[in-house]
Structure 1
Amino acid sequence: MKIINYTPYTKTINPDDMKKLEQDVISNTGLKGLLLMEHAALALFNRVKEHLKEDKECIIVCGSGNNGGDGYALARLLSQNSFKCKVYYIAEPKTEDAQYNCTLLKTLYPEVEIREYEGFFDFDKNTSLVVDALFGTGFRGSLEGDAFNLIQQINESALPVLAVDVPSGLDSNTGYVCDAAVKAKETITFHKIKTGLLLSKAIDYVGDIYVANIGLPDSFDYTSGALVLNDETAAMYFPKQNKSAHKGDNGKVLIIAGSPEMAGAASIATSAAQRAGAGLVSIASVDKVVQITLKNCPSATAHILSDDYDEALSKIIDVLNNYDSVVIGSGLGRGNYQNKLVIDVIGHINNINLPCVVDADALNIIAEQGLGFKLNKNFVLTPHPKEAARLLGCDIDFIIKDYANAANEISDKYGGSIVLKGACSYIKAQRRIAINTSGSPALAKAGSGDALAGIIAALLANKKTGSFISLALGSYMLGKAAELAEIKLGTNAVTIFDVISELGFISKLN
């Protein structure tokens, strides 16, 4: 996924807020809905010109609402400029603006073929592009009848598709796809990126994203939305090194992680924290894990934990005040020892002002054992969808259907900030939201979550960025590093240590 015309501090908008914004502008300025539709059609026309092959035909598929109205207006502009096109529709236009543009197209360009879809999507060698104007941001739920069949046939055609505002079949609020959705090469979305274009399974459908200005005044837009980073803004947020800096200035991270069965998790989290700029990283674990970690990360320091639970807990509590952030849970395993350790350490940290990233087995332990108290704002929970489902005691589909709602429920139940991991991770820190769009399928391997925990802990320990930016920036850094590793090695060959080795890109951007 690429945001083609990204601007710094880009934020998303949910469809309900977008609808209200349009209504407010129309009601308070006298700006007509037809003019907004014309602006949308002009933006579509400019993108179609970029994609339509010379002397080839464009097929526009229209629904009955204003999304379809955009399609009819686009067909008129294409015809006006001597481009070939034809229109399929699944239902007659129902909104006033869509009806107007359909009638205008028929009146001005009667030679344009406008055909009702009757079960067969007809294209030939002269067709080089499809424009999807079936359903817009108001779509919810499932597809039925002709719409389902048409979308399936569009996808099977393998023709490149430009989606109008949102790929039809995709929920523009949550990103969820119930039955099927158009797989677009590019989505031209209006005013701002719709939140659902970046969530759940949307990445498989939206293609690249182009944000089109349709003339809505910024002075009317009071929506907050989710922050979306790119290289430019990530570089601005990444903590700058002073020439006189020493290791204490860059923060000290304690990582409580690893078990004999999953010893590598500690090395991954430690290495990632070091590459993300931490001045000192220490591992607290059993002897076998410590030895492996120090071999892989020789500049780390260590606290060897006794097999005796009371001694282990006492050692951790004694050293906590020496650190600026903590990671707990990566590869820790589960059992009576680990269960008690996680609950007791988290309980102690909850009473002091120390950022703590709770990951992996620590999440599973608090899901099983419960906490009996709310975590303070310095805690960060980093579940993937299965872990999130365990935390809420629900089916994983509940998480995938609505990332935002799931993150809110986890935060309400446990406290702290949330990084709900996925192809595009959803980040919630108090009332601030971000969605991460960097990443690669190369991250779909063991160890990625351990690396993210280490990166976030390093940024939190530095204290030069707030909690929210640390979570958004850490997620972006991991995803971008994976993209760079993938370019060098190919998706399947990338390991998490290859990804970690690319984290230095962020310093080069400064």
Structure 2
Amino acid sequence: MSSNFLNTWEMKILERNSEYLGVSREILMENAGKEVAKALESKFGQNIKVAVVSGLGNNGGDGLVAARYLTRSNEVSVILLGSEVQIKTALAKKAWNRLKNLRHTVTIFQAKSESTLTELENVIRDAAVIVDAIFGTGIKGKIRGLPRKAIEIINKSGRQVVAVDVPSGLNPDTGEVHGIAVKASLTVTFHAAKPGLVKPEAKEYVGELVVADIGIPREAELIAGPGDVLATLKERKPWSKKGDFGKMLVIGSSNLYTGAPALSALAALRTGADIVVVAAPESAAPTIRSFSPNLIVWSLPGETLREEHIEKILGWSIKFDVIVIGPGLGRSEETLETAGNLLEKLEKPLVVDADALHALPLRKNALKEKPSIITPHAGELTALLGEKVPIDLETRIALAKKAAKIYGTVVLLKGHEDVITDGVKHKVNATGNPGMTVGGTGDVLTGIAATLLAHSGNPLYAASSAAFINGLAGDLVFKEKGFHITAYDVVEKIPEAFKEIEKYR
């Protein structure tokens, strides 16, 4: 059980990561309902009349599970706000079907209209304790219709009320009320307190707050997993247009290295970016264009990045959501000086990789006050900190946190287990395999991270999601080709990796 506050977005991540670890959401619902029943009996005793008012989603499912446990020692009635055919989720439907089998120990009503609910008002009023399982954390907009009527009846009943996870109608993140909210005597919230539940103005709705352990493994908070990815992706609505899902500028390449920025750009496109432009020296631009017709390449005079390019790049940057700098740049003195000046002057979210990392030690404040991610391997982090990075995980976490604090950025330390940290929180990613030591997979990671940063605006979760996706794509290649992997193979498996993640939605 977490000791910190977690908002609803973070809780969704944990639930999905928990399922990835083998603790399904069905198990979590079962545990949640059991904990509600236990808390109710602990506070109000047994052998009492209990009325469970259940909505049609998973919060209602939690309430239905609680009702099943409460039948052991209490007289239980359940009022479903709607018809059973309207139950919205498979988990809630399972909970309903299990409860229906208890023909002799629970009385079930389906309130399909406000008039039916009015007729059932005496069931609610006759109970010693009412369980509010109408809405959970996903509520949006003002409450109307049957749910509003139910909340009005509950609030004027004068009975003790136990809210499941959150009082229906109360925003658990802000403490604001969606027009009307249940006034609970006791709120049993799950895994961690939500920030809105402890706001002073929420006290009259929350009542006593109990945080219940429902079996989410601590590991679910520590790992990068499918929950991170699904929370980071931007929803694609029917009327979406070009540019809504990320416009990226990749500053890279030199007369020696042409593949790196192309891999970053192609990975960004496969991840879901709408527009990706590579800004490259004119000596490399034709080669980069030749890799794919999907690549847009803007040329800079000369063979390497130079000081004279800064004003042009700054002008271009205005059109983009995220800037990538580093892949294939080279490390000449002028190139690193130019890269450092760009890092200081660019005012957009940044992903800094490869050669551009070597411009940071002399500019420790360049990334502060702007959303950013750096993606060093152990050798590059050693250069950034001036101390050797070992292979033991705990020390790697500590050094990554140290770098994040020094440079004011999110660090994605690549390795057998990737470490992702903002200097306070950290995550560890375990996808990937030794075949990914091949050159270019880090450039693929950079493109994925940039796209997810454009989608979410959250560097920590964009980085953890990118590490998970990149490694998963590499693992899918490994299944087919063993260790005979190229970076482009990983790019081509990115869509399949996202399909794998969809099963946790």
Q: For the superposition of Structure 1 and Structure 2, which TM-score range results when normalised by the shorter chain?
A: 0.5 to 0.7
Cα distance 1:277–1:221, how it changes in 2: closer, same or farther (>3 A)?
A: closer
> Which ranges of structure 1 fall in alignment gaps of 5 or more residues?
9-191, 193-216
Q: Following the alignment from structure 1 to structure 2, what is the Cα–Cα distance between the partners of residues 371 and 4? A: 38
Report the counterpart of residue 330 of structure 1 in structure 2: 327
Tell me which moved more, 382-391 or 394-403: 394-403
Cα distance 1:251–1:445, how it changes in 2: closer, same or farther (>3 A)?
A: same
C-alpha distance after superposition, 1:188-215 (max 9, x if no partner)? xxxx9xxxxxxxxxxxxxxxxxxxxxxx
Report the counterpart of residue 409 of structure 1 in structure 2: 402
1:320 counterpart = 2:317: yes
Report the counterpart of residue 472 of structure 1 in structure 2: 464
Report the counterpart of residue 197 of structure 1 in structure 2: none
> Conserved in 2, the CA contact under 8 Å of 1:251 and 1:280?
yes
**SS state of the match for residue 243, structure 2?**
helix
Q: Following the alignment from structure 1 to structure 2, what is the Cα–Cα distance between the partners of residues 219 and 481? A: 32
Cα distance 1:233–1:309, how it changes in 2: closer, same or farther (>3 A)?
A: closer
Q: Following the alignment from structure 2 to structure 1, what is the Cα–Cα distance between the partners of residues 401 and 382? A: 13
Picking from 485, 488, 491, the partner of 1:494 is 485
Picking from 270, 276, 279, the partner of 1:281 is 276
Q: Following the alignment from structure 1 to structure 2, what is the Cα–Cα distance between the partners of residues 222 and 7? A: 11
Cα distance 1:270–1:219, how it changes in 2: closer, same or farther (>3 A)?
A: closer
By how many angstroms is 1:247 displaced?
2.0
Cα distance 1:254–1:479, how it changes in 2: closer, same or farther (>3 A)?
A: same
> Conserved in 2, the CA contact under 8 Å of 1:294 and 1:300?
yes
Cα RMSD between the aligned structures? 3.1
Report the counterpart of residue 476 of structure 2 in structure 1: 484
Q: Following the alignment from structure 2 to structure 1, what is the Cα–Cα distance between the partners of residues 316 and 490? A: 30
Amino acid at match of 2:260: A
C-alpha distance after superposition, 1:339-394 (max 9, x if no partner)? 12111110012xx3x21011111112323x44455623412111111100110011
Q: Following the alignment from structure 2 to structure 1, what is the Cα–Cα distance between the partners of residues 308 and 430? A: 43
Report the counterpart of residue 198 of structure 2 in structure 1: none
C-alpha distance after superposition, 1:65-111 (max 9, x if no partner)? xxxxxxxxxxxxxxxxxxxxxxxxxxxxxxxxxxxxxxxxxxxxxxx
Picking from 256, 259, 275, the partner of 1:261 is 256
Cα distance 1:365–1:452, how it changes in 2: closer, same or farther (>3 A)?
A: same
By how many angstroms is 1:269 displaced?
0.8
Amino acid at match of 1:270: A
By how many angstroms is 1:331 displaced?
1.3
Picking from 222, 231, 238, the partner of 2:233 is 238
> Conserved in 2, the CA contact under 8 Å of 1:343 and 1:371?
no
**1:9-158 matched pairs, under 5 angstroms:** none
Q: Following the alignment from structure 2 to structure 1, what is the Cα–Cα distance between the partners of residues 423 and 394? A: 22
Report the counterpart of residue 228 of structure 1 in structure 2: 223
> Which ranges of structure 2 fall in alignment gaps of 5 or more residues?
1-18, 26-190, 192-211
Report the counterpart of residue 252 of structure 1 in structure 2: 247
Report the counterpart of residue 343 of structure 2 in structure 1: 346
> Conserved in 2, the CA contact under 8 Å of 1:256 and 1:284?
yes
Q: Following the alignment from structure 2 to structure 1, what is the Cα–Cα distance between the partners of residues 498 and 472? A: 13
Cα distance 1:399–1:220, how it changes in 2: closer, same or farther (>3 A)?
A: closer
1:357 counterpart = 2:351: yes
**SS state of the match for residue 244, structure 2?**
helix
Cα distance 1:400–1:476, how it changes in 2: closer, same or farther (>3 A)?
A: closer
Cα distance 1:432–1:232, how it changes in 2: closer, same or farther (>3 A)?
A: closer
Would you say how many aligned residue pairs link Structure 1 and Structure 2?
A: 298
By how many angstroms is 1:294 displaced?
1.4
Q: Following the alignment from structure 1 to structure 2, what is the Cα–Cα distance between the partners of residues 318 and 399? A: 44
By how many angstroms is 1:395 displaced?
2.1
Report the counterpart of residue 387 of structure 2 in structure 1: 394
When normalised by structure 2's length, the TM-score is 0.54
Q: Following the alignment from structure 2 to structure 1, what is the Cα–Cα distance between the partners of residues 465 and 215? A: 29
Q: Following the alignment from structure 2 to structure 1, what is the Cα–Cα distance between the partners of residues 239 and 216? A: 44
Q: Following the alignment from structure 1 to structure 2, what is the Cα–Cα distance between the partners of residues 423 and 458? A: 23
> Conserved in 2, the CA contact under 8 Å of 1:377 and 1:417?
no
When normalised by structure 1's length, the TM-score is 0.54
By how many angstroms is 1:475 displaced?
0.7
Q: Following the alignment from structure 1 to structure 2, what is the Cα–Cα distance between the partners of residues 247 and 402? A: 43
By how many angstroms is 1:4 displaced?
5.8
**SS state of the match for residue 409, structure 2?**
strand
> Conserved in 2, the CA contact under 8 Å of 1:267 and 1:292?
no
By how many angstroms is 1:295 displaced?
1.2
Amino acid at match of 2:261: A
Amino acid at match of 1:317: L
Cα distance 1:6–1:261, how it changes in 2: closer, same or farther (>3 A)?
A: farther
Tell me which moved more, 301-310 or 451-460: 301-310
Q: Following the alignment from structure 1 to structure 2, what is the Cα–Cα distance between the partners of residues 297 and 360? A: 23
**SS state of the match for residue 326, structure 1?**
strand
Cα distance 1:240–1:449, how it changes in 2: closer, same or farther (>3 A)?
A: same
> Conserved in 1, the CA contact under 8 Å of 2:353 and 2:374?
yes
Amino acid at match of 1:442: G
Q: Following the alignment from structure 1 to structure 2, what is the Cα–Cα distance between the partners of residues 264 and 374? A: 26
Cα distance 1:374–1:269, how it changes in 2: closer, same or farther (>3 A)?
A: closer
Q: Following the alignment from structure 2 to structure 1, what is the Cα–Cα distance between the partners of residues 444 and 371? A: 19
Amino acid at match of 1:458: T
Q: Following the alignment from structure 1 to structure 2, what is the Cα–Cα distance between the partners of residues 389 and 232? A: 31
**SS state of the match for residue 382, structure 2?**
helix
Q: Following the alignment from structure 2 to structure 1, what is the Cα–Cα distance between the partners of residues 242 and 350? A: 20
By how many angstroms is 1:500 displaced?
0.7
